[in-house]
Chains A and B, each alone.
Chain A
Amino acid sequence: MAAFSAFKLLPPHPIPIRSTSSKPSIPFLSSSSHLSIHPSKTSISSSSSSSRLRPLHAAPSDLLADKTNLGPAPVISRDVALELYEDMVLGRSFEDMCAQMYYKGKMFGFVHLYNGQEAVSTGFIKLLKKADSVVSTYRDHVHALSKGVPARAVMAELFGKATGCCRGQGGSMHIFSAEHGLLGGFAFIGEGIPVATGAAFTSKYRREVLKESDCDLVTVAFFGDGTCNNGQFFECLNMAALWKLPIVFVVENNLWAIGMSHLRATSDPEIWKKGPAFGMPGVHVDGMDVLKVREVAKEAIERARRGEGPSLVECETYRFRGHSLADPDELRNRDEKAHYASRDPILALKKYILEHNLATESELKAIEMKIDDVIEDAVEFADSSPLPPRSQLLENVFADPKGFGLGPDGKYRCEDPKFTQGTAQV
């Protein structure tokens, strides 16, 4: 309880204006702010005069106080470093290939790319078990890849082929994988949050009612800054805190909801503050730094697993591309984009790995080439896969196909062989 009461004690302060040290379009949120939600660290640093412009925060963790002051020892092992690097490179290469394929006409509709936000996906999802759940939005390709859905299956789904993870019936915005615990893939913003709350509820129900005492599964819900003004978000913050559900709410605050700037849309833009209002810890973290994200994620996920309830984590991140491939992206300032491009999470991790001698340049290059092969293989697989057959149109509407009812002859429609061939009247 000490952790979030520390946040509740924060005195109100005027809505922060943009930081004076940077260009007007770059928000006030400091680039290296970091908050620890470890229960033992409750001291509040209400220090400097600059606190009027910066959010007040609890004492930062000893490990990553400041990016430039890294201690001599790396915080992760070589294996973990390479795993994180590979995952982020996979995400980036996959999305770049999606863009190419879209412009070639192999993919269609709405495609929302994740370039620049890889640190959030990798930072959180690589800490989860296979049976844990991830709920995403329409910007879900990289969440799927991080969770373990094969690149082939995702690419084939985007091409609309029968071998896709949803048999070609879902598309870019509806990537589901029951096997990997990826619950979509939702087109409406905010739609995934109650579903994630339900998945977390199931974990608690299984433990308490179905008596599966070892069920400690956690759900991580990803959504954006625009969603944080939506009613469902608040409804679920309330219920998750009320019933202490094992869920982590992760805000990927990339500052833009299509063309609506977060600062224009939100009365109080500091999203992490909304956590304590509902009785859970609210944390803000630099979402361009995978190690910081991973540190916060570990705490939040473990807190949920222990049964202590939900957390709200706001990751300040950025999408290098437009909202979708159809978005001309005219409203965002070039300087803002340059600022975040210079903080590319993949390059940052690469620098960290080389500086701490966790791997050599050539080993990293080998990983990049391996990923290139994986992506090429995925494209070839998707290209050569067949389109769904005509008979698939009527499949999977119901789990029980008798739901199509009785035909005029009094027999169930689904028993008519012409039904599955796609020639029967619907």
Chain B
Amino acid sequence: MAILHPCVGSVYREVPCSVPPTNCLLWGSSLPGAVPDMRMTVADALNSALDEEMSADPKVFLIGEEVGENQGAYKISKGLLEKYGPERVIDTPVTEAGFTGMGVGAAYYGLRPVVEFMTFNFSMQAIDHIINSAAKSNYTSGGQMSAPIVFRGPNGASAGLGAEHNQCYAAWYAACPGLKVLSPYSSEDARGLLKAAIRDPDPVVFLENEFLYGESFPVSAEVLDSSFCLPIGKAKIEREGKDVTITAFSKMVGYALQAADILSKEGINAEVINLRSIRPLDRATINASVRKTNRLVTVEEGFPQHGVGAEICASVIEDSFHYLVAPVERISAADVPMPYAINLERMALPQVTFYQIYLIKYEEKHVN
């Protein structure tokens, strides 16, 4: 595994360096367990993952609106058109159903398309191809037509864009057999999960978040390595605790961590689980955590009914019923289409302060 040195060349190129890591002033110590010095935004993480996978395998190509000349609607595909050419970075007309189905047809023949949706709200125009042509095809063809395709784009709430640009699709896609649904939080998640998704032989729905694109996170040398991949189906415990388990994915992980900080000042030690993989759900990690803490709060940005939290709740009740000392608390968006007015929009989405409401409820239940 080569170590990437930021001092020599681009961070995306592996360059051997004769200076031993322990002596390198820029890296500090890159021995295992050392605090990493590099930071990377989620946007750069996704861009580097796409770049590396496209470089490693000529069958990978990117298709979607604005991905080429406009460098991506959110600049995630910056520089890729220049590097790989218009045959591999394809700007499409506004035809979600058409180009998504086209991607699936190419995937049947072993190419590895990465289909970008400007936002996952637009994927509703192509959902027939995601579910029927991609997710179900390996099964209905008896194993002949698998679709190694990735559908990616920003998911969930935006700011001030109203009802049609704000829905979270995690629960809808995670309900469908044959699909894998991933949602990264940090840059490490973004790189590792996108690479895993592109290498995966099955269709993967990759739910990013517009607000996380600009956030930077520390990344270790291991994360920057071009062979870095995260396993699909394993959650990450972002913060260990013993009093309550909070499950979250994507942007809500950040909120959960902030809430955990607030709770810790009140003497409540929360364990925060970053789901990473919505389908398959890491039921083992969630249940093990609940068995330790005996309480569960699920957080998501999507609608409450039939949401991700509902599935986690059911899983915990089925597998760890006797360990719960209080009912499961689901925190989600309000059960309304997203309003436009700033104050209403704020009220319609989970806020960190909602944890304080929970805190009060927690105390009520805690007192026996």
Residues of A within 8 A of B (CB): 135, 164-171, 174, 176-178, 183-188, 191, 193-202, 205, 208-210, 231-232, 235-236, 238-239, 242, 395-400, 402-410, 412
Contacts and interface: CB of A to CB of B under 8 A. Distances in A.
Nearest to A230: B97
15 contacts: A167-B143, A170-B140, A176-B137, A176-B142, A183-B108, A186-B132, A194-B98, A198-B103, A209-B87, A235-B93, A236-B98, A397-B178, A398-B138, A398-B178, A405-B233
B145 A176 contact: yes
A181 to B, nearest CB: 10
Interface in B152-203: 177-178, 180, 200-202
A198 B97 CA distance: 12
Interface of B: 58-59, 61, 87-88, 92-93, 95, 97-111, 128-129, 132-133, 137-146, 148, 177-178, 180, 200-202, 232-234, 277, 279-285, 287-288, 319
A178 B145 CA distance: 7
A173 to B, nearest CB: 9
Contacts of A186: 132-133
Contacts of B142: 164-170, 176, 396
Contacts of A191: 101, 128-129, 132-133
B117 to A, nearest CB: 15
Contact of B128 (A188, A199, A403): A188
B99 A405 contact: no
Given A205-B87, A399-B202, A184 B233 contact: no
Given A194-B133, A396-B141, 10 more contacts: A168-B142, A177-B144, A183-B108, A184-B145, A185-B141, A194-B104, A196-B105, A397-B138, A399-B201, A408-B319
Contacts of B200: 400
Contacts of A169: 139-142
Given A194-B100, A195-B108, A405-B280, A176 B141 contact: yes
B284 A205 contact: no
B87 A236 contact: no
B131 to A, nearest CB: 11
B62 to A, nearest CB: 12
Given A188-B132, A210-B59, A406-B283, A201 B93 contact: no
4 closest pairs, A vs B, by CB? A198-B105, A194-B101, A405-B280, A235-B98
B365 to A, nearest CB: 26
A170 B106 contact: no
B90 to A, nearest CB: 8
B104 A195 contact: yes
Contacts of A165: 142
A115 to B, nearest CB: 25
Contacts of A208: 87
A180 to B, nearest CB: 10
Contacts of A397: 138-139, 177-178
Contacts of B146: 398-399
Contacts of B110: 202
B141 A197 contact: no
A406 B234 contact: yes
A75 B336 CA distance: 68
Which of A176, A199, A208, A238 is most buried by chain B, counting CB atoms within 10 A of its CB? A176
A187 B99 contact: no
Nearest to A219: B105
A87 to B, nearest CB: 23
A195 B129 CA distance: 9
Given A195-B105, A199-B108, A170 B141 contact: yes
Nearest to B180: A403
Contact of A183 (B105, B277, B282): B105
A170 B148 CA distance: 20
Nearest to B199: A400
Contacts of B58: 209-210
Nearest to A205: B111
A406 B286 CA distance: 11
B284 A410 contact: yes
Contacts of A187: 132
Which of A171, A404, A405 is most buried by chain B, counting CB atoms within 10 A of its CB? A405
Nearest to B288: A410
Nearest to A181: B109
Given A188-B128, A397-B138, A195 B319 contact: no
Contacts of B319: 408
B279 to A, nearest CB: 8
Nearest to B319: A408
A402 B233 contact: yes
A199 B145 contact: no
Given A242-B93, A397-B178, A406-B280, A174 B140 contact: yes
Contact of A408 (B138, B139, B283): B283
Nearest to A401: B202
A205 B58 CA distance: 10
Contacts of B277: 405
A205 B84 CA distance: 13
Contacts of B137: 176, 184
A235 B148 CA distance: 23
B177 A194 contact: no
Given A166-B140, A169-B140, A198 B108 contact: yes
Contacts of B144: 166, 176-178
Contacts of A402: 232-233
